[in-house]
Amino acid sequence: MSEILLKPSAAQPPFTEPHVAPRQWEYVRDALEQGALDGNGPYSRQAAAVVRRVTAAAEVLLTPSCTHALELSAIALDLEPGDEVIVPAFSYAPTAAAFALRGARLVFVDSHPDTLNVRADHIEAAVTDRTKAIVVLHYAGVPCEMDPIMDIARRHGLAVVEDSAQAFGSRYRGRPTGSFGRFAALSFHATKNVHCAKGGALLVNEPSDLDRAKTIQDRGTDRHLYFRGLVEEYQWVDLGSSYLLNEVLAALLAAQLETFDDVQARRARFWDGYDATLPEWAREHGVRTPHVPAHTTHSAHLYYLVLPTQDAKAGLLRHLADRGLTAAIHYLALHDSPAGRRFGREGPGGCAVAGDLPRRLVRLPMHAGMSDDYHRRVIDAITGFHP
């Protein structure tokens, strides 16, 4: 597995480190002392209000993970076996698995070589009379081309779900990612910009979906109506599961979100630092650096390089490891994975870019707490590598 993620030794600074917010200990302790631990308490409301402000989503439901939020959206879409869902070939497993769980057939579409985001023209070609939804991933927090994607969805009457796990705080033509689709899913996993160890959120952008989404989130019961005094007893009324973030983790999240602007500013500085120093070296050596379209802003979630060959990538990982530094690869394309072949097929046009580029992709160390010295060492090591 040494090629997957070269394990840090004592001498190696970590590839990523969970952000620590000054008040998180106090909030977690307070939440535990308050005793109402199930969720939807004061810290949940505080955290959800910030998420709503950043994303401009109509409603925010905090969930135990991004994966759970995607599953919740898949239940809410009433997918039936045989229905088709268009998903990006280049993404993390849950972007596809959440919909395969409902019995949908997946249709994988290719990426743009410049952003690795899904291609709108391939989406259009993949629509059939069984298609129910389009799922998109904003890779590295760089927004997908939402105008053409939403246009396709409107013309064919399809729901859009945004996997915004990496794109909390990104904007497309001035509008926050997560506010475009019928649903969007965020991740607050420890590897993300702000986190609660493991958590997420479902953004609900059509008010008519809200009651149903809350029912699914709370084990398929109408308990949320009971809490609002709208029914005298609550009961099992629909499909559902246990998709509510608990109040202890919500307290951790609320503290983290108080520091969101600071985290973003620090990450942006490291991202910009890579992007000011690496492209010249990259051009000389046939290496691609991230492309951020002019009409978008991104969340500074990750900085990556696409090497000219798989050998060059292995060489760079070794070169960094020899200098006490850690870099990481990212997920391989889904259409070509054992489960992807079982639960889906490639759309028209194939998935050549998604199949190839991730095999040559390396992510660079970046987190809000990294030192300038560490950042400099990574840049010096990379520009000293000649593939």
Ligand X SMILES: *Cc1c(COP(=O)(O)O)cnc(C)c1O
Nearer to ligand X, 65 or 221 (CB): 65
Q: Which two tokens stand for residue 285?
A: 């050596």
Which residues, 225 to 264, sit near ligand X by CB under 6 A? none
> Which residue, 18, 112, 67, 108, is CA-closest to 241?
67
Q: Kindly report the CA angle at 255 between 251 and 260, in degrees rounded to 5?
A: 135
Q: Quick check: 91 binds ligand X (CB under 6 A)?
A: yes
Q: Quick check: 189 binds ligand X (CB under 6 A)?
A: yes
Among 141, 181, 200, 240, binds ligand X (CB under 6 A): 200
Among 24, 40, 166, 259, binds ligand X (CB under 6 A): 166
**Quick one: which segment of 20-28, 87-95, 251-259, 347-355 binds ligand X (CB under 6 A)?**
87-95
Q: Quick check: 94 binds ligand X (CB under 6 A)?
A: yes
Nearer to ligand X, 116 or 120 (CB): 116
Which residues, 95 to 114, sit near ligand X by CB under 6 A? 95
Contact of 27 with 46, CB cutoff 8 Å: no
Q: Quick check: 162 binds ligand X (CB under 6 A)?
A: no
Say how many residues touch ligand X, by CB under 6 A.
Answer: 14
Q: Quick check: 141 binds ligand X (CB under 6 A)?
A: no
Measured CA distances, 224 to 79, 217, 228, 236, 262 (Å): 24, 10, 6, 12, 35
233 by Cβ neighbours in 10 Å (0-12 / 13-18 / 19+) ranks as exposed
DSSP state of 333: P
Q: Quick check: 137 binds ligand X (CB under 6 A)?
A: yes
Q: Quick check: 92 binds ligand X (CB under 6 A)?
A: yes
**Quick one: which segment of 86-94, 221-229, 318-326, 362-370 binds ligand X (CB under 6 A)?**
86-94
Q: Quick check: 65 binds ligand X (CB under 6 A)?
A: yes
Q: Which two tokens stand for residue 325?
A: 């530094």
- CA trace torsion 156, 159, 165, 166 (10° rounding): 30
Among 67, 256, 259, 264, binds ligand X (CB under 6 A): 67
Q: Are strands 105-109 and 84-88 parallel, antiparallel or unpaired?
A: parallel
